[in-house]
Amino acid sequence: MKLNDQVQNLGARIWTIQVLAFILLTLLGVRLYYLQITKGAYYAERAENQRVRLIPIPAPRGAIFDRNGKILVDSRPTYNVVLSNEPLKSLDLPSRVNDYAAGLSMDRQFVIERLNLIKKQNDFETMVLKENATMQDIAWVEAHSVEFPELLIELQPQRFYPLGTVLSHVLGYVGEISPAQLENPEFKEKGFRPGDIIGKGGLEQYYDEYLRGRPGYRKVIVDSRGRVQSEIARVPPQAGMDLVTTIDLDLQMAAEQQLDASATKRGTIIAMDPNNGELFAMASHPAYDPNVFIQGTSKPEGRKQIAAYWQDEKRPLYNRAIQGRYPPGSTWKIPEYVGALEEGVITPQKSNVACGGGITIGNKFTRCMGNHGAPPLDHAITVSCDGYAYHLALKMGIEGIIKMIQTFQFDKPTGIDLPNEKVSQTPKSWMPWILKHEGKWSDIRTVYASIGQDTVVVTPISMLRAISSVGMQGKMYTPHFLKEFKSISAIGEDGDPNYIPAREGFTYQHPAPVIVPMNDDQYHIMLRGMWGVVQEAGTAASIRMPGWEIAGKTGTAQVSELGSGGAKDHAWFDSFAPAYKPEISVVALIENSGFGAANAAPAAKGMYEAYLAKRDPNKPIITKDEAVGSGKK
Amino acid sequence: MVAIIEKRDLRDFDWLTAVLAIAISCFGVWQIHNALPTDNYWSKQIIGIGIALVAFLVVAFSDFRRIVDYAPVFFVIGLVLLALVVTPLGVEVNGQKAWLRLPLIGQFQPSEFMKIPTVLMLAKYFGARKGGPLTLRETIIGGLIFAAPLGLILLEPDAGQAITYFPIFAAVLFISGIKFRYVVIAIVATAIMVQTAWFVGVKYGKIKRYQQERLLAITNPDEVDPRGYGYHTIQSTITVGKGGLAGIQGDPETSQSVLKFLPEPQTDFIFAVTAENSGFIGCVSLLLAYALLLSRMIAGARQSSDRASLLVIMSVVCGMVFQIFMNVGMAEGFLPVIGVPLPLMSAGLSAILTTFIAIGFVVSIKMRRFVN
């Protein structure tokens, strides 16, 4: 067949088709060049991004020990049922609510809440649906992996507080970082992510940075449904640092026991080493169980319990030792008298002030418990003469009292290593308010302030610190729980991209003690008075212990108007022992229980007994006679 | 069979075309294996190629003109099979009834095979005419031959398969001497109708949301939901681009198809798999191989001794070019997702068999071009 013979230009037509074919193929080649050569790297990265996932491996938090190595807090493995983000995107979640609720035996309402939360947050890998999954839950998830590929089981080290309510206020608890905290620049800077576990309250919060480990991660390949296909790399997590505290668990248990046995079961007991500020024990009752916050958040009963904690008017979540502010009553006289001596209102040699059975300000008579004549300072302390305090305070003037407040730093936090410490309220802090509303500071307020009432409400910890300093002849240490953070070794080799450097351990860095000026004579007259409180016929003679001399001061702080039938007085006992070479100081405060001598002093005695039970029997106990000689007064 | 093959046959046998077709299909097997190494698509494809080669040789060594004489028989059988597809004998896959399961033969896709009788039937009709411009009457009769299988395929409905019939008919009309002005009119009319159909379709909801999304994925790939209907286009583009110059070296476990990011990797998106595994070099080689194969076929057309032969070859050429362009264009993300297999590469017995039979005709025609 001769193509050229044809009328229809057959040759040209075939040629047209051929050219057209080549143009189309060339077009494909050009596009190929653009995709593979020009933008090849871009698409390679996109492909990598959609198949590589980083799955964090949570780091175990550091454990917390008492000074003798007893476990106070540790972590143990638990399993969570989590929802994986990737397959979720193409799911109709509301339709799964009933399946999840039935399969995982969860409250339907709670499932709905969790799913709503997930909807709001797009930026996550996995989200916990159920914490502390049981063996049945795990089996159910495994058995339904085809129907519900979005459900996964994740191992999670969980915080465990073996002591329950014991020491709960000091230890605090941990929980998921809140959305508000995530917005907070302070947390944002540190790169926190939703779902991160952080310390909430107590040492867990204060030392969170050290207790918290550095999470590792698994670098995995996932398929288009987000299912892990293989693992490319695994960087192990670095555990948090272990915290050794100054707490002595035996003393702590004694403190808890004393509070349990107290009249109202409300109050606080703190024991400290006055020589350096190391805290042996800090109990606050009523207490809470931190485990409820760890395990309870996903269960209706747990959440009810947490809500009950918040609503309870006895305020179990509140650490009375550092957050409670109470009128100190007569215990306030100790720092006040040190102030009077320092300011020269009285001297050790000339310390007598008239009691007068009370004082009349204007037409109002404020009485003393007895009539003590004109006692010297030490006797005034021993018998807790209020008339002495009234008259002395008027001599000092409110300025003198404020000066003392500054000397003992009642206007500042003590600097204890716990979060949310409250500052005491004193005439110094009240002064601007009083002047504004009453025009002047009246003498009656000075009189009330002299016996730790009215404008004086202090935290037990600040009171303990002040009283302890008298035993140390004016050296006031910062109370603290940190003894040591143990070092933790590095993860990986140096130079490795995933290298996590080692963390050096460290001990508590003692700030220089605050010095309350107190010469020998001043010290001895104060001590003589405080020694007498227990050792002579003082207000707390009932707790006298043979061979163990306690220096202390009782306080009975009025809460409501006398005779009003309102709440009973707060009972205080501030002390240290042995009086002339203190090894331990104790403050006991029992709320609304009445007399300090009857209610707080025995609790302190219980602490000393516990201390003595452990004390090296061969270590000499310094008595007053040995320290100052028997002849001297 | 060898006994009846004469020396002349072997001398005139178009070895290059045969070798190219076999080479491309073997390359295809490798890519099917790359796509899903743990599935048995690749081994099935080898069996398919074996069957196809037998059919290829039978067709290549038969007398082409006698086959054309029997074209109406094949055509009617084909139409019956197509009609059976829409009866309960048809097998429904993904909402389409494109498959037929028959005893002994098994499951196959009549719409794929029907291309052959259609080409033969058109060749028989238009090959018998004398020279001169195409008349309206001839065009209408040809159109009816074309419309019969097309209508049945649209009933399935299998738009992707139906669309591959158009280039065959277009080639036949073009080669049969349709006037150039009609060609121009047809092109302009198509352009206008596609636009009109789009706007009318969108307005009255005839073009569904997902169909619109698929087109949007091409025009604005960054704006459509990457997990929605643009997913195929986006993933295919990523897969192609990822291949780079020489493809991924080793590490098939992280390939787009194995991780199931790329859908239908062994059939519709086999080119994306090729691009990922063999890179620009492999893909350009493949396109060159296609170009060479098509050139050989067109050269055969130029040498053909009669009009029917010429029509058969050129419609096979146009059909293949169209399928290559649609399939690769889809994989490269600039044409919409329509399930058109890539000739000789995509897994599927029906497709590979049809393509080899078609090439068998071409070889047969070339072999007998001096017989007059």
Compute the nearest-CA separation of A62 from chain B (Å): 38
Structural contact between residues A486 and A242, judged by C-beta atoms closer than 8 angstroms = yes
Is position B17 within any domain?
Answer: yes
Is position B30 within any domain?
Answer: yes
Q: Say yes or no: A422 and A567 in one domain.
A: yes
Q: Say whether A82 sits in a helix, a strand or coil.
A: strand
Q: Say yes or no: A64 and A163 in one domain.
A: yes
Residue A69: CB atoms within 10 Å: 8
Is position A487 within any domain?
Answer: no
Number of structural domains chain B divides into: 1
Q: What share of chain B is helix, strand, coil (3-state, %, to 5)?
A: 70, 5, 30
Q: Say yes or no: A339 and A190 in one domain.
A: no
Structural contact between residues A63 and A74, judged by C-beta atoms closer than 8 angstroms = yes
Q: Say yes or no: A199 and A339 in one domain.
A: no
A residues 41-80 lying closer than 8 A (beta carbon) to B: 41-44, 46-47, 50-51
Is position A533 within any domain?
Answer: yes
Structural contact between residues B53 and B299, judged by C-beta atoms closer than 8 angstroms = no
Residue A374: CB atoms within 10 Å: 16
Task: Look at the alpha carbons of A399, A405, A411, A412 in this order and tell me if their dihedral is positive or negative.
Answer: positive
* Type of residue at A145: S
Is position A531 within any domain?
Answer: yes
Alpha-carbon distances, residue A466 vs A384, A521, A572, B282 (angstroms): 18, 19, 14, 85
Structural contact between residues A575 and A467, judged by C-beta atoms closer than 8 angstroms = yes
Residue A161, C-beta contacts closer than 8 angstroms, at least 6 positions apart: A72, A73, A168, A171, A173, A289, A290, A291, A294
Q: Say yes or no: A474 and A352 in one domain.
A: yes
Is position A257 within any domain?
Answer: no
Is position B198 within any domain?
Answer: yes
| Residue A155 bridge partners (DSSP) | A79
Angle between helices B307-331 and A10-33 (to 10 degrees): 20
Considering only CB atoms, A36 lies closest to which of B279, B301, B324, namely B279
C-alpha angle A250-A254-A260 in degrees, rounded to nearest 5: 145
* Type of residue at A134: T
Q: Say yes or no: A216 and A68 in one domain.
A: yes
Number of structural domains chain A divides into: 3
Q: Which residues of A touch B177 (CB under 8 A)?
A: 6-8, 10, 13
Domain span at A33? 3-38
Is position A127 within any domain?
Answer: yes
A8:B280 CB<8 A: no
ipTM of the complex: 0.93
Is position A315 within any domain?
Answer: no
Domain span at B26? 2-367
Q: Say yes or no: A33 and A176 in one domain.
A: no
pTM over 0.80: no
Structural contact between residues A500 and A491, judged by C-beta atoms closer than 8 angstroms = yes
Q: Say whether A175 sits in a helix, a strand or coil.
A: strand
* Type of residue at A575: S
pLDDT of residue B357: 94
DSSP state of A36: I
From first to last of its 372 residues, chain B has per-residue pLDDT tens of 444 556 666 777 888 999 999 999 999 999 999 998 888 999 999 999 999 999 999 999 888 888 889 999 999 999 999 998 888 878 877 677 778 887 767 778 889 899 999 999 999 999 887 767 788 888 899 999 999 999 999 888 888 888 999 999 999 999 888 887 888 888 899 889 888 888 888 777 777 777 777 777 777 766 666 666 778 888 999 999 999 998 886 667 778 888 888 888 999 999 999 999 999 999 999 999 999 999 999 998 988 888 899 999 999 999 999 999 999 999 999 988 888 999 999 999 999 999 999 999 999 988 876 654
pLDDT of residue B53: 96
User: CB-based burial of residue B239 (10 Å sphere; 0-12 exposed, 13-18 middle, 19+ buried)?
Assistant: buried
**Which region among A224-238, A248-262, B331-345 has the lowest average model confidence (pLDDT)?**
A224-238
Residue A615 CA, distance from chain mean position: 29
pLDDT digits (tens, 9 = 90+) for A394-433: 999 999 999 999 999 999 999 999 999 999 999 999 999 9
Q: Whole-angstrom Cα distance, residue B18 to residue A12? A: 27
pLDDT digits (tens, 9 = 90+) for A480-530: 999 999 999 888 887 777 788 899 999 999 999 999 999 999 999 999 999
Q: Say yes or no: A234 and A183 in one domain.
A: yes
Q: Is A221 on the interface with B (CB under 8 A)?
A: yes
B329:A18 CB<8 A: no
Is position B372 within any domain?
Answer: no
Considering only CB atoms, B259 lies closest to which of A5, A42, A224, namely A224
B residues 149-208 lying closer than 8 A (beta carbon) to A: 171, 174-177
Q: Whole-angstrom Cα distance, residue A111 to residue A179? A: 19
Is position B224 within any domain?
Answer: yes
Is position A286 within any domain?
Answer: no
Q: Residue A154 is part of a domain; what is its CATH number?
A: 3.90.1310.10
User: What is the number of residues in chain A?
Assistant: 633
Q: Say yes or no: A58 and A33 in one domain.
A: no
Is position A68 within any domain?
Answer: yes
Q: Say yes or no: A23 and A153 in one domain.
A: no
Half-sphere exposure of B107 (CA within 13 A, CB side): 8
Task: Look at the alpha carbons of B64, B65, B70, B71 in this order and tell me if their dihedral is positive or negative.
Answer: positive
Q: Whole-angstrom Cα distance, residue B256 to residue B244? A: 14
Q: Residue A365 is part of a domain; what is its CATH number?
A: 3.40.710.10
B291:A22 CB<8 A: yes
pLDDT digits (tens, 9 = 90+) for B81-111: 999 888 887 887 767 777 888 776 777 888 9
Task: Give the domain-ending residue among A222, A245, A268.
Answer: A245
B residues 26-65 lying closer than 8 A (beta carbon) to A: none
**Which region among A86-95, A155-164, A413-422, A539-548 has the lowest average model confidence (pLDDT)?**
A86-95
Q: Whole-angstrom Cα distance, residue B347 to residue B43? A: 10
Extended strands (E) in B260-327: none
Alpha-carbon distances, residue A398 vs A344, A459, B275, B300 (angstroms): 15, 21, 90, 119
Interface test with B, best of A2, A28, A33, A39 (most B CBs within 10 A): A28
